[in-house]
Chain A
Amino acid sequence: MLRQTLKLAKPTRLFSTSVIARNSVKTPKKFKTAKNLSEVHSEYDLIGTGAQKGEVPTDLEQATGLERLELLGKLEGVDIFEQKPLDTSRKGTMQNPILIDSYEKYRYIGCTGSPAGSHIVMWLKPTVGKPARCWECGSVYKINYLGKD
C-alpha cells in the first residue's frame, strides 16, 4: 500500500515552496546573472553562477539574493545595507552635531563616547527638531531625515 502510494506521489517534495516558485509562470527559465550593481533590475538577476565543474564555489559564485546584492555592492565600495556602526571619529556638539541618517523621524542611538568604547552604552532617541545629548560624554546627535514628507 505504502509503495503504491509513493508511486502515485508526484516527484516534488511536499511543502516545498521552492518547487512552487520554480514552476510559477512568472519565474524565468533562464537567469542572467548581474556582474555589477547597475545590471541588477529584479531578484532574478541575483542568482549566483555556481561553481565551475570540479571546483569549490567561491562566495561570489555561490551567493544568491540579498547576500549577492551585498557582495556586488562591496565590490564597488557601496554599503548596501548601511551596516557601519555609529560615527565616533569626534564628539558631536550643539553647533556641530553628529548627523544620523534615518528613514523615520527618530532613531535609537547607542553612544559609547569618542573613541568608541570610552563608556558603557547609553541609548538616546534624537528626533527631527530635537537633537539628543549623551548624558555621560555630552556628544550630540541630530537626525538627518531621509524620508519623503
Chain B
Amino acid sequence: MSQSNTWSAWINRWLFSTNAKDIAILYFIFSLFGGVLGSVFSLVMRLELAAPGEQILLGDHQLYNVLVSAHSVLMVFFLIMPLTAGFFGNYLLPLMLGAPDVSFARVNNIAFWLYPPALTLLIASALIDEGPGTGWTVYPPLSGIQSHGGASIDLVIFALHITSISSILSSINFLTTVLNMRTLGMTMTKLPLFVWSIIFTASLLLITLPVLTAGITLLLLDRNFNTAFYEPAGGGDPILYQHLYWFFGHPEVYILILPVFGIISHVISNYAKKPIFGKLGMVYAMGSIGFLGLLVWSHHMYIVGLDVDTRAYFTSATMVIAIPTGIKIFSWLATLYGGSIRFTTPMLYAIAFLFIFTIGGCSGVLLSNANLDVAFHDTYFVVGHFHYVLSLGVVYGVFAGYYYWSPMMTGLYYNPTIANIQFWMMFIGTNITFLPMHFLGLNGMPRRIPDYPDAFTGFNALSSLGAVMSVGALLLFAYVIYDQLMNGLTNKNLSTNALWKNPDFFESNDIFNSNQIKSSSLEFLLTYPPMYHTFNTLPIQS
C-alpha cells in the first residue's frame, strides 16, 4: 500500500483500514476516549460522595444514577472490551500466530467502525430527556416506559445492540483466524497463552451476546410496542429479564478478565525468565473458568426469591470457579518461584495484579454464598469486590500489557522511572479508593445512592481521596504516552526493560553473545514497530 502523505492515502489507511495492526491502533485511541469519559464520570461520582449531603450535583439524584450508568457501560463496553480484545487481540493475535493478518480483514474494519456510532448513542442517551438512571443492568421495571419515559433507555439499548454486533463480528474473526491461519507446525497445544485467552473470550462472547441482545430487544418491545414480556400486568415477569441479562452479564466479567490472564502469563514468564509453569493446565483452567462462567449467572439474583435448591446450586457452582482460578494463581506463583525476576514496570503491574486479583477473588467467594449475600447484596461490599477484580485487576493487566508490548508496537520506549512512579501512584490510589468500600458495605451502605448518613463519612472521604490520586495517576500515564511518543528513542538508553539484557540461566555467554536475536514469543523477533505487512515468507516451527 502506498505510504504517501496524501489525504486519500491517509483515509485509505485509517478509515478504510483492513490491516489488523492499524485497526488495533484505532481501537486503542478509541478506548482512550471511552476511558477518559468513564474516569471523569467516576471522579464526579466520588466528589459527590466525598461528604454527606449535596456536594456538586445540586441534589439531582437522577443525574447521579445517570453517571453510574454511563460510567459502567463506558468502562465495560468502551474501554476494556476495545482494549483487551480490540487492541491487544488485533495487534498480537496475528503476530503470535505467524499470520500476516486476521482472517476477515474487512469485517475487522466494520467491527471497529461500529464502535463510534455506539458511543455517540450512549452519550446521547445521557444528554437527552432525563438520562438512563438504571445502572448497566437496565432492569425493568425501572427501565420500563413508566419509570423512564423518554428515549434515553432506547438509545442505550441501541448502543448495546451495536457493540454486540461489533463484538460478534470480531469474535468470529478471531476464532476463524486461530483455527485457519496458524503458521506451519503451530498446533493448538503450542499456541501462546494470550492466543488461548482470546479463543475463550471470543467463544464466550459468541455464546452470550445473542442472549443479551434478545433480552434488551424484548425490553425495547415492552417499552415501545405494548408487549408485556417483563410486565406482570400482561402476564410477563421482570425476573426473566434478570436471567437473560445475567446469562450474558456474568460471562462478560470473564470476557474482560480472560485476555488479561493471557497478558499476565506472558509478562510473568518473560520477566521471571522461566517458561510459564503448567502451560496446558493454564489453558484448561481458562477453559474451565469460561465454561463454569456460563453456569452461575443467578448468583447475581439471590434475593429475587429463588428457591433454596436453586440457591444451593448457584452457590456451589460459583465456588467451584475458585478452583481453576486458584490453579492459575498457583501457576503464576510457581513461575515466579526460583525465577530470575526483574522488577520492570510491566512486572510490577503483573505482581500487583496477582495480589489484587486474589483479594478480589476471595471477596468473590464470600459473595458467592447465598446466605451471606442476603446481607451483602446491593451494598458497597459488592462495589468494592468487583472494582478489585475489574478496576484494579483488569486495568492493571491492561497497563502491564501496554508497558510490555508498546515499545515493540511503536519502536519507542517510555521513561521507566516515570512509568514506575505511575505504577505506585495507581497502586496506592486505587487501593485507597476501593478498600474502604468493603468496610462501608459491611456496615450496610447501599450502592447507587448519592447521599448517605454521617456514620459513613470517614471511609467515603478516604475513598474519594483515593479517586483523586487515581485520576492523578491516569494524568501521569497520559504524560508517559506523550513522553514515549516525543522522546521514545532517547528513553531507549534509560530502559531497564530491554528484553534480552542478560543471558537466560540455561544459556552460555557464548551463545548469548553470538545470537541475541531470539525470543520465546514470536512478536518480539519482528522489527520495532512491525512492518505494515509481516511474514512475507511464513514462519515455521516444529
Contact = CB atoms under 8 A, between A and B. Distances in A.
Interface of A: 82-88, 100, 102-104, 107-114, 116-117, 120-125, 132-133, 135-136, 138
B23 to A, nearest CB: 22
Interface of B: 98, 184-186, 190, 275, 279, 504, 506-507, 511-512, 514-515, 517-522, 524-525, 535-537, 539-542
A112 B515 contact: no
Contacts of B504: 135
A125 B520 contact: no
Contacts of B517: 124-125, 132
Contacts of B512: 135
A123 B520 contact: yes
A87 B540 CA distance: 9
Nearest to A113: B542
Given A86-B185, A103-B536, A104-B537, A132 B518 contact: yes
A107 B537 contact: yes
A85 B520 contact: no
A4 to B, nearest CB: 29
Given A102-B537, A103-B536, A133-B511, A86 B542 contact: yes
A107 B536 CA distance: 9
B540 A85 contact: yes
Contacts of B518: 122-125, 132, 135
Contact of A135 (B98, B507, B524): B507
A85 B185 contact: yes
Given A87-B542, A133-B514, A136-B506, 20 more contacts: A82-B184, A85-B184, A88-B542, A108-B98, A110-B98, A110-B522, A110-B539, A110-B541, A112-B542, A114-B542, A121-B520, A123-B522, A123-B524, A123-B541, A124-B525, A125-B518, A133-B515, A135-B504, A135-B518, A136-B507
Contacts of A86: 184-185, 540-542
12 contacts: A85-B184, A86-B540, A86-B542, A104-B537, A107-B537, A108-B522, A109-B539, A109-B540, A117-B542, A122-B519, A132-B515, A136-B507
Contacts of A136: 506-507
A110 B542 contact: yes
Contact of A85 (B507, B524, B537, B542): B542
A86 B538 CA distance: 12
Interface majority SS on A: helix, strand, loop or mixed?
A: loop
Nearest to B191: A121
A110 B515 contact: no
B190 A112 contact: yes
Given A84-B184, A122-B520, A124-B517, A112 B541 contact: yes
A104 B538 CA distance: 10
Contacts of B520: 120-123
Given A86-B185, A124-B515, A108 B540 contact: yes
A117 B512 CA distance: 22
A132 B190 CA distance: 21
Contacts of A138: 511
A46 B184 CA distance: 25
Q: Which of A86, A122, A135, A138 has the most CB of B within 10 A?
A: A135
Given A88-B542, A124-B515, A135-B515, A108 B506 contact: no
A69 B25 CA distance: 37
Nearest to A100: B540
B193 to A, nearest CB: 11
B507 A110 contact: no
Contacts of A132: 515, 517-518
Contacts of A87: 542
A65 to B, nearest CB: 15
Nearest to A83: B184
A99 to B, nearest CB: 12
A124 B541 CA distance: 10
